[in-house]
Amino acid sequence: MDLAKGGSPGSRNRPGARVMLNNLQSLRAFAAYSVVMYHCFMGAMNPTDPIGQSYLDLPSGGVDLFFVISGFVMTYTTAANETPGGFAIKRMTRIVPLYWVVTCVVIGMTLIRGWLFPNVVLSPQAILASLFFIPHVDGSGSMYPVLGVGWTLNYEMLFYLLFAISLVLPLAWRISGLLFLITLIWLIAALTHLAEPAGTASLASFYANPILFEFSAGCLIGHMIRQPSVIAFVRVTPMWPFALAGLAGFAILPALLSPDTPSVLRYGAPAALLVFAAVGQDLYRTPARESWFTKLGDASYSAYLLHPVLLVITTQGVRAIMADGPLSSTLILAGLLISTACASLLCVRYFEKPATVWLRNLGRRQAPAINH
């Protein structure tokens, strides 16, 4: 992750300096491939004991890690003079193209072989809601879009909207204003959901999920990591104990908390510790070098969106040549990891980044005509 800095505390953050947050990039890869393995495990394993079920859910914590990273990146990289419109355009051009393309692929596969994605609803309302990041009920009664993993983007888009709104505030009030907006939305959703019948799947139930506060945690890290007192602390304090505590939290909390416990409690705090350790190490201590894992982190968005399609293809391919069993499950996992890595690296190079650049350049060319 190559970040241009201006006016940040510390010698590495002088105006114009560029900082490679390779530890954070590696965390993005860790988060993405945790989710990939989680979706593969769901179909291959079925432990009956509570602790086994909790640990089967453990790789889903990659989503929580993504949310904390997102909150940090938005807070740390957004320029002081950024406008709400400029911020929104940057995020839309980054998120929308690949999401729409993969959503259309899932629609096509469902039309041809409906049993590949049995819970997908292809009504016009469901398709439009999916494309425009509006939570809706799918065929299983859950709040999933056509591309199932897109449920996380529905939270991301709400966060981006609130972040854009916060940019109208004076700089000194932005972080507190943003945290207030996140809390307000969650509180309104939670109170509305309490008035609904038990088990109702709705917009209120979706946004009442306290997972929203993981964005807040990332925002706080992005704000605090610029403060002189925190910088001084990080410069003299090894970051590995924080990283180790985060990993220990991921390992221990599933055994202590039931699967019904909100993920913000099971995975949010460990994720925040990992993010703090990663950025502190790269910004103010010895930064990590670029590696193949950081390259996978750079392609983590592509990996996240592509892997559900690749999982279906890989599963059908393996099951066409052998029966279900430990060997077939192993081959599916290996095939999924390899195909996701290869496809995401190609996608980020030949589609994701070129599409983002093209759309942003198109916006710049159109801006004078609009203003005129």
Inside any domain, residue 322: yes
What pLDDT does 45 receive?
52
pLDDT, one tens digit per residue, over 251-300 is 888 778 877 888 999 999 999 999 999 999 999 999 999 999 999 999 99
Residue 25 Cα distances to 21, 218, 298, angstroms: 6, 15, 6
Inside any domain, residue 307: yes
> Quick one: pLDDT band at residue 3, thresholds 50, 70, 90?
low
Residues 301-315 have a mean pLDDT of 96
Q: Where are the beta strands (DSSP E) in the chain?
A: 2-4, 18-20
Inside any domain, residue 273: no
Q: Count how many residues are written for the chain.
A: 372
CA 166/CA 240 separation, integer angstroms: 33
> Quick one: pLDDT band at residue 5, thresholds 50, 70, 90?
very low
DSSP 70-132: HHHHHHHHS-TT--HHHHHHHHHHHHHHHHHHHHHHHHHHHHH-GGGSTT---SHHHHHHHHT
Q: How many domains does the chain have?
A: 1
- Cα 175 to its chain centre, rounded Å, is 20
Inside any domain, residue 333: yes
3 state SS of 2? strand
Contact yes or no for 30/68 (Cβ under 8 A): no
- Measuring CA to CA, which residue among 103, 153, 94 is closest to residue 126? 103
> Quick one: pLDDT band at residue 14, thresholds 50, 70, 90?
very low
Mean pLDDT over the full length of the chain:
89
Inside any domain, residue 174: yes
What pLDDT does 198 receive?
83
Inside any domain, residue 222: yes
pLDDT, one tens digit per residue, over 104-136 is 999 999 999 988 898 899 999 999 999 999 999
Residues 360-371 have a mean pLDDT of 65
Inside any domain, residue 47: yes
The parent domain of residue 119 ranges over 30-60+70-227+291-363
Inside any domain, residue 262: no
- Measuring CA to CA, which residue among 301, 345, 347, 260 is closest to residue 36? 301
